[in-house]
Structure formats: structure tokens, C-alpha cells
Chains A and B, each alone.
Chain A
């Protein structure tokens, strides 16, 4: 390999301050996620419920055409806040969010720790919050694609197919519910994933941990609830807490007889703890050994 195949030339442009300093981090994070094995497949699978629910909206508006196929299922095909809640708090959707976090989010910080690239980031005009925001936005992007975007598409499709604004008049708050619950889901999973990603330099351990913590909390709930029949054990399950809060936001009855605000509080505590941990773990001043 020869040195200086080309001479060094000065760059004539001007370095400028970006308004969104974190954007290149997000863009690269999304790009790298799509290069990962099995990610595209998982992402595609996670969109299946959205397609199913969209078809449901179409059928609900053309129910007369499908009478023979859906005899007695009219109740199921009523598009109302319960329909939206069923999509947003569905077990499969939450599970696929975790799978996407495993494949796209596990290495976000742990790879930077393993390959010492933090010092390169912070030797640039980048603040710690830009770094976190850039990494978190990768997660926010993917979760939004399977929560916020389908939610809005459902809403618009319903209005389009019904040909009137009656649905909007009946549930004027539904759009806000979609936004709020998508925000809760993205924020919680962004902090949860980044927190676990910052725990280890090994991406595999992080992947296992993201998956195990979510799954184990639910298994634990299943065991305790099965044994003691006390609904308060739902509070130890991440999934149940998300479903409780989701039900309330979509103005539905929570699935467990536990005050919803306790579930919300638990999600807030986990998020706050993750945020504080990340602040302490990733320090600009520690990047040069």
C-alpha cells in the first residue's frame, strides 16, 4: 500500500453549525440497522398487524359486501377507540417492538463503548444531549413507523372510506390519544433500550437482556397471578403496564383491576432511572483514557 496516492489539499468550504446536530447520528443508525441480518424480515413482520387492521377498516366500511364472510362479526369490525386500543396494546405488536429493539437498538451505545468511538463523537462539536438524541431517534423512528404512522393512517383511512367527518365528531380526542400513546411507547422503549445498551460492551449480552427483561417480567407476572390471583402483580410486567396505560389513553377499561396511574408511575420510574443512568454512564470528560 503506497502512501499519499493523492496529495493533501485544503477544503475550501466553511464548517457550519447544524440546527439538528444529532441528525447524522440518527441517519447512520437507521442505515446500519437495515444492514443487519434478519432486521428487514423482522421489520416487515412487525408491519403485518398494521396491514391487517387497515384491511379491517376497509371491510368495516364495506360490510354489506362481506356479509356472507363475516356473519356475526360486525361487533368485531366496529372501528372505534377500542379498535385502536386493540392495535396499540396488542401483544404481537409489543413483542415485535422488542424484537426490533433487539436487532436495531442493542448496539447503539454498546458498540460505541466496545470500539472506543465515543471519543470521536465528543471530539466533534457535539454535546452529550445531541449524542443521546441521535441514538434515541433511531429507536423513535422505528417504533413510530409501526405505531404512530399506522395509527394516523387508520384514522385518515376511516375518514376517507366513511366519506364524512362523523367519526372525527364522535371521537375528537382519538387523534390526541394516538399521539400520546405513541409518544409514551417511543420514549419508554428508547430509554429502556439505550439504558440496557449502555450496560455492556457486548452487543449479544445487550440483545439477550433487552429480550429477557421484557419477557421475564411478563412470565413472573403470569406465575404470581396464577398462584395468588392478585391483579396487582400486573405491575411487575412491562407489557401489562403498557397495556394498562394504553387502555386508559384510548378511553377503555384497563385489562387488570389495578389503578392505571400505578402502571404509569412504574413506566415513569423505569424511564427516569434509565435517563439518570445514561447521564452518569456517558460522560464527555471520560472519553479519553
Chain B
């Protein structure tokens, strides 16, 4: 297990940030989702060893998060959300500097800095002053400094923020490459659900300091409910009411398409029975894939 935490509690004074978070993350890429104030940043701080939990325990890469922070930080990489740089430095010096601080010998760090800068696509600009970098280049630079010491686990905080669509696509490709082919585990905190969906096989959804849902993405999509898209003709309101009373969640889109989230234990024929009872014609009926957005909305309790 790369990350294993049990019953983590943490409060900022009277405000509870985490209330009994337990996680077990294995290999590959995992996504951390949650609305603002859900406790994502606090969880990241605890996993990086910046904060000590009030209660509970945990290990990251086998190192205790409360007593072995220094060792832990040697083997993890961290890409923060904010733009980070040191004015007056070029990219090679910057990346090698942080490699050295992680414990690499100076010359090795310099050699490695060149390699990772080429890898993230900054090879041509590696001698340019960092102040002259664009937003996309700064994002790549942050990734370069996070992987320069070849970490075993990579924490990425909003890795695609401030990027144009092309830049976003390229960064996601890099992260996908790192997590799937390079034997580096990745833990991504992001608000962009499609990013998480495209990279991560495992998701953790936090809400109000608790784990609202976690698991392998494909399992979460399957187990919780089936999603159908329906178009009807007739007395629509009563039909929707009856579906809701049966336990379905119904969303209506702008083009009058009904998205019906049906609990796994319910029979599909029930929908047709209700339609028959309410004299409603079903003109369109398609079983569709549940997206991460649907799971997120269901777990967090918002549409």
C-alpha cells in the first residue's frame, strides 16, 4: 500500500477538518475529489507530514506520517497548485537545486535536471530565466521539480489549473505516462472531474471531513446505480414523482431529457409499469454510462 491511513481526525480550533478518514491506496493513479472545505488540503498536509493528526494513524510508502516525515518527504514528489519559482534562476538550476535538497549529489542532480526538463517539454527553454516563463511552462516546471529526484509517490495539487486546452491535454498525457508506465504512484487532488476520470483508476471523494465514497472508478459506476436517459410524451410530472418515490434520482436536462439514476436492486421493468400507469409514452430509452460527475454529485449530495 502506498498510502494507508486509519481514522484520521484533525481540527483547526473548533472547526473540524477531518473526522475519521480511513484510506488504503495501492498502485497506480488515485484521485482526491471534494467540494471546498471538504478537507482535501488538510489530508494532503497530513500525508506530506506537515500536520500531525489529532487522532488516528497512517503510513505513506511505509513511513509513519507522525514520526518519519523527513524520510517520507525524501521519497515523495509534490507539485503545488500555486505558481512557484525562485527569481533569478533558470530551469536547470531550479530543478537541480530541489533535487539536491531532496538528497541527490550535486552533479547527479544537475544531470537529472536536464533529463526531466526534456521529459516535461522544457528542454529548449531550460536556460531561460523563470520569470519569463508562461503559465503552462511554470506548470511543467513544477512537475519537473517534483519528479527530479525520482519519487515513488507523486502528490499533484490541481495539476491542470491555469492551462489552455492543449496545455492541459499535454500535462495529462505526462501524468498518465508517469503513473501507468513509469512505476510512480500518483495522488491527484483536482476540481476538474474529467481530468481525474481520464487518469485515475481509483477515486476518493471527501465531504465534510469524511470519506463520502471511495473505490475503483469502474466499480463505483457499476455498483451504485444504473443510469438511463428517457424521453417521454404525456403527464411528465406525475411520472417523475412516482420514479422518485421508487428511489430513483431524476434530473431533467434543458432539452427535456430525463436522466434516471436507478438503484441497483430495482427492476428495470418498474419504469415501464409506472409509465403505463400514468399513461405516458416512452419515446426514447437508452442505458448510458455513469460519469464521475454523477458519482460525485451522488456522494456529495449536490446536483
Contacts from A to B (Cβ < 8 Å)? 1-11, 13, 15-18, 21, 24-25, 28, 32, 35-36, 107, 111-112, 115-117, 119-127, 284-285, 287-289
Contacts and interface: CB of A to CB of B under 8 A. Distances in A.
B87 A111 contact: yes
A117 B86 CA distance: 7
A120 B50 contact: no
B73 A125 contact: yes
A169 B81 CA distance: 63
Contacts of A16: 103, 105
A133 to B, nearest CB: 13
23 contacts: A1-B122, A4-B119, A10-B182, A11-B108, A13-B105, A24-B97, A24-B100, A111-B86, A112-B86, A115-B84, A117-B86, A119-B80, A119-B84, A122-B50, A123-B48, A123-B78, A125-B70, A125-B73, A125-B74, A125-B101, A125-B102, A125-B103, A288-B157
B103 A120 contact: no
A144 B181 CA distance: 51
A117 B149 CA distance: 17
B51 A120 contact: no
B174 interface: yes
A6 B41 CA distance: 33
Given A16-B103, A124-B73, A289-B81, A284 B50 contact: yes
B123 interface: yes
A6 B123 contact: yes
Nearest to A111: B87
B145 to A, nearest CB: 6
A116 B83 contact: yes
Contacts of A120: 78, 80, 84, 98, 145
A117 B74 contact: no
Contact of B82 (A3, A25, A111, A289): A289
Contacts of A123: 48, 73, 76-78, 80
Contact of B74 (A1, A15, A25, A119): A15
A190 to B, nearest CB: 20
**Chain A contact surface mostly:** loop
Contacts of A284: 50
B183 interface: yes
B85 interface: yes
Nearest to B46: A285
Contacts of B41: 288-289
Interface of B: 41, 44-45, 48, 50-51, 70-71, 73-78, 80-89, 93, 97-98, 100-106, 108, 112, 115-116, 118-125, 145, 147, 149-150, 157, 170, 173-174, 177-178, 181-183
Contacts of A124: 73-74, 98, 101-102
Question: Which of A4, A25, A125, A126 gathers the greatest number of chain B CB atoms within 10 Å?
Answer: A125
Given A8-B116, A25-B101, 13 more contacts: A3-B120, A11-B112, A16-B105, A32-B86, A111-B86, A116-B82, A117-B84, A120-B145, A122-B50, A124-B73, A125-B101, A288-B44, A288-B45
A127 B70 contact: yes
B183 A285 contact: no
A1 B48 CA distance: 32
B81 A15 contact: no
Identify the interface centre among A1, A4, A10: most chain B CB within 10 Å of its CB.
A1
B50 A13 contact: no
Nearest to B145: A120
A6 B78 contact: no
B78 A107 contact: no
Given A115-B84, A121-B101, A289-B41, A11 B150 contact: yes
Contact of B71 (A5, A117, A125): A125
B58 to A, nearest CB: 16
B89 A15 contact: no
B79 to A, nearest CB: 9
Contacts of A25: 101
Contact of B80 (A24, A28, A35, A116): A116
Given A111-B86, A117-B84, A3 B121 contact: yes
A122 B50 CA distance: 8
A262 B278 CA distance: 94
Contacts of B81: 289
A218 B180 CA distance: 64
A5 B118 CA distance: 6
B122 to A, nearest CB: 8
Nearest to B77: A123
A111 B130 CA distance: 13
Nearest to A36: B88
Nearest to B178: A8
A99 B276 CA distance: 88
A4 B177 contact: yes
Nearest to A18: B103
B121 A288 contact: no
B121 A1 contact: yes
Nearest to A2: B121
B173 A3 contact: yes
A73 to B, nearest CB: 46
Contacts of B97: 24, 28
Contacts of A35: 88
Nearest to B146: A123
Contacts of B116: 8
